[in-house]
Amino acid sequence: MALISCRDLCLAYEGKIAVDRLSFDVSPGDYLCIVGENGSGKSTLIRALLGLKKPRSGSIQYGDGLKQSEIGYLPQQTPAQKDFPASVREVVLSGCRAAPFYSASEKRRAAENMEKLGLTELKKACYRELSGGQQQRVLLARALCATRKLLLLDEPVTGLDPAVSAELYRIIRDLNEEGVTVVMVTHDVDCAIERARTILHLRTVPLFWGRAEDYRESEIGRSFMASGPEKGGDEA
Amino acid sequence: MSLIKEMLSYTFLLRAIIVGGLVSLCAAVLGVPLVLKRYSMIGDGLSHVGFGALAVAAAMNAAPLSVAIPVVVAAAFLLLRLSASGKVKGDAAIAVVSTGSLALGVIVISLSTGMNTETSNYLFGSILSMSEEDVRLSLILTALVLLLFIIFYHHIFAVTFDETFARATGKRAGACNALLALLTALTVVVGMRLMGSLLISGLVIFPALSAMRLCREFRHVIIVSSALSLVCFLLGTVASFALAIPTGASVVCVDILALLGCFGLGRLRERG
Ligand SMILES: Nc1ncnc2c1ncn2[C@@H]1O[C@H](COP(=O)(O)OP(=O)(O)O)[C@@H](O)[C@H]1O
Ligand SMILES: [Mg+2]
């Protein structure tokens, strides 16, 4: 049974359609990369999967025991977070439920996730004083406190230098191999194809959904990859 | 020392110190998430609404708080709704509501009683205005603010740090924001007649800003902000008594000095 299945999904902002006629599934253990140009509806789709945006029509169903609130999410940073006075530990813990206080098992879980992402030494450090790569790792640890099953990542390496990006990709890959399902929006097509199991190419409507190997051979995949590098340059 | 002894011998001063100290504490605690959410001017907007409400209450010969509390709480929710709908930006919404109620208040005053000391007290605060009722009210308010803040502390942190993530992981961000707005509204109303409508928002903003310069952990920011706010209030009150200047203005000035000091300290630490 699929973790998420979207059927004939349509998402719109006040009449302007951002995503249309989209059907796809995310199966357990999948590594799905969502690619497409700017404004093609990728972030909107992520917001819908998180339950932050109501579909205009069509449906999103969660299966395999997944609850909507059990999805880990790595957002792009908002400017407000940049000067936020909080310790790494406080940020990571905030991924836990807290009902209304953190339970012993939640605290343990946060400590495990900090350990997993190499943050244990930094746990007292101030979030705003970390490097961009470290901040992303903190947010990833927080996301892991919210889920054991599914991670949604929206352009996680934007603004990071290549070495740090590679490190972050490796961590995500490891998590996927441990059984966490990954859905990642990315600009970096080459990298997506290298790592992902499944590709969804979006331009408001889906242009491709299927295995990464097949995408590489497809017409649309080849032309998008050819135009990829200069777009990657813009982003950096 | 003898000055402080003299101050404590006046019942009205003692009352003012209790009410003011408690209100400073509440404002400082609430100020931290409000400042971090770029929403600190809500205190300012609500105090202007409070001024309008007090003016109307005076014109109708009603008990000031019985009018001001519901009106200010309603305004707080209205501001939240306006900025959440995204049609008006938060700061613009606050400016609209705040100047609107100030204008209404001034019109009501000039049509009814005319400008007198009482109306000037609404604007700039008066240390003489605190009754036993106010002391009781501020005690209840403080208990309520601190209790709710502690219970929902982790949720408030999560929603302040990253509202989208908090919503996505099933935390009730809307309820959290409403709670903050409600508690801020109550704090503003209770503190307004002591500190003055024009100055009460200083209590919300300054201690939080100062503490944010010094601390690197959210929990510490809250604690330092409250402590700083209390100390500044007491120093400001003593100064206002010694120099015979209005309390609200004096407290805000001490808060500004503290802010400058904290910026200096922060700068020093960055270098050192
Ligand atoms: N909050 C919003 N209000 C109105 N339109 C929006 C909003 N967010 C995105 N859009 C529009 O929806 C379309 C898809 O945007 P988005 O999902 O952010 O694309 P992507 O993430 O692929 O770059 C764009 O045309 C964008 O202008
Ligand atoms: Mg996007």
A72 pLDDT above the threshold of 90: yes
Question: Which of B107-121, B141-155, B188-202 has the lowest average pLDDT?
Answer: B107-121
Residue nearest to atom 17 of ligand 1 (CA): A41
Q: Count the alpha carbons within 13 Å of B153 in the hemisphere toward its beta carbon.
A: 15
* Chain centroid, CA A218 distance in Å: 25
Give yes or no for residue A44 CB within 6 A of ligand 1.
yes
Shortest Cα distance from A221 to chain B (angstroms)?
A: 32
Using 50, 70 and 90 to split pLDDT, how confident is the model at B227?
very high
A17 pLDDT above the threshold of 50: yes
Q: A11, A48 in Cβ contact below 8 A?
A: yes
d(CA B8, CA B12): 9
* Chain centroid, CA B146 distance in Å: 14
How far from each other are the two terminal CA atoms of chain A, in whole angstroms? 39
Q: Write the single-letter amino acid at A50.
A: L
Question: Is the model more confident about B148 or about B66?
Answer: B148
Query: Would you state the pLDDT for residue A137?
Result: 93
Give yes or no for residue A47 CB within 6 A of ligand 1.
no
Residue nearest to atom 24 of ligand 1 (CA): A39
Interface test with B, best of A94, A136, A142 (most B CBs within 10 A): A94
Question: Is the model more confident about A191 or about B160?
Answer: B160
The mean pLDDT value for B87-99 works out to 80
Whether A156 and chain B come into contact, CB under 8 Å, resolves to: no
Give yes or no for residue A18 CB within 6 A of ligand 1.
yes
Token pair 């242009």: residue: A207
Which of the ligands is closest to the CA of residue A18? 1
Beta-carbon separation of B169 and A73 below 8 A: yes
> What percentage of chain A reaches a pLDDT higher than 90?
66
Q: Which of A18, A49, A44 is nearest to A151 (CA)?
A: A49
Is pTM, for the whole model, over 0.80? yes
Beta-carbon separation of B165 and A95 below 8 A: yes
Q: Write the single-letter amino acid at A21.
A: R
Q: For B166-222, write each residue's pLDDT tens digit.
A: 999 989 999 999 999 999 999 999 999 899 988 899 999 999 999 999 999 999 999
Query: Would you state the pLDDT for residue B236?
Result: 95
A107 pLDDT above the threshold of 80: yes
d(CA B112, CA B267): 52
Give yes or no for residue A38 CB within 6 A of ligand 1.
yes
Beta-carbon separation of B170 and A68 below 8 A: yes
Question: Is the model more confident about A82 or about B51?
Answer: B51
Using 50, 70 and 90 to split pLDDT, how confident is the model at A29?
very high
Task: Domains for chain B: give ranges and CATH numbers.
Answer: 2-271 (1.10.3470.10)
The mean pLDDT value for A192-207 works out to 92
Beta-carbon separation of A73 and B216 below 8 A: no
Query: Would you state the pLDDT for residue A77?
Result: 65
Beta-carbon separation of A52 and B167 below 8 A: yes
Tokens representing B248? 């609200």
Q: For A151-170, write each residue's pLDDT tens digit.
A: 999 999 888 888 999 999 99
Whether B190 and chain A come into contact, CB under 8 Å, resolves to: no
d(CA B62, CA A195): 71
Backbone phi, psi, residue B152, to 5°: -100, 15
Q: How far is the CA of A45 from the centre of ligand 2 (A)?
A: 9
DSSP reduced 3-state for B182: helix
Question: Is the model more confident about B130 or about A46?
Answer: A46
Using 50, 70 and 90 to split pLDDT, how confident is the model at A79?
low
A236 pLDDT above the threshold of 70: no
Question: Is the model more confident about B120 or about B248?
Answer: B248
Query: Would you state the pLDDT for residue A12?
Result: 96
Query: Would you state the pLDDT for residue A233?
Result: 39
Q: Which of B99, B90, B82, B93 is nearest to B48 (CA)?
A: B99
Which ipTM was obtained for this model? Answer: 0.90
The mean pLDDT value for B49-64 works out to 90
Using 50, 70 and 90 to split pLDDT, how confident is the model at A232?
very low
Rounded mean pLDDT of chain A?
Answer: 89
- CA torsion, ordered A114, A116, A121, A127, to nearest 10 deg: -40
Residues of chain A with Cβ-Cβ distance to B171 below 8 Å are 98
> To 10 degrees, what angle do helices B41-60 and B64-85 make?
140
E strand or H helix at B125: none
A235 pLDDT above the threshold of 70: no
Give yes or no for residue A137 CB within 6 A of ligand 1.
no
List chain A domain ranges: 1-66+149-236, 79-147
d(CA B38, CA B180): 13
A148 pLDDT above the threshold of 60: yes
CATH of A1-66+149-236, one of 3.30.70.920, 3.40.640.10, 3.40.50.300, 2.30.30.830: 3.40.50.300
Q: Can you give chain A as a three-state secondary structure string? A: CCCEEEEEEEEEECCEEEEEEEEEEECCCCEEEEECCCCCCHHHHHHHHCCCCCCCEEEEEECCCCCHHHEEEECCCCHHHHHCCCEHHHHHHCCCCCCCCCCHHHHHHHHHHHHHCCCHHHCCCEHHHCCHHHHHHHHHHHHHHHCCCEEEEECCCCCCCHHHHHHHHHHHHHHHHCCCEEEEECCCHHHHHHHCCEEEEEECEEEEEEEHHHHHHCHHHHHHHHCHHHHHHHHC
Residue A98 Ramachandran class (φ > 0 left, ψ -120 to 50 alpha, else beta)? left
- CA torsion, ordered A13, A17, A18, A21, to nearest 10 deg: 130
Q: B202, B252 in Cβ contact below 8 A?
A: yes
The mean pLDDT value for B63-67 works out to 87
Residue B128 DSSP label: G
d(CA B84, CA A138): 28
Greatest Cα pair distance in chain B: 60
Q: A65, B196 in Cβ contact below 8 A?
A: no
Beta-carbon separation of B165 and A142 below 8 A: yes
E strand or H helix at B74: helix B64-85
The atom of ligand 1 lying closest to the CA of A154 is 21
As a 3-state breakdown, chain B gives helix, strand, coil percent values, each rounded to 5, of: 85, 0, 15
d(CA B19, CA B189): 12
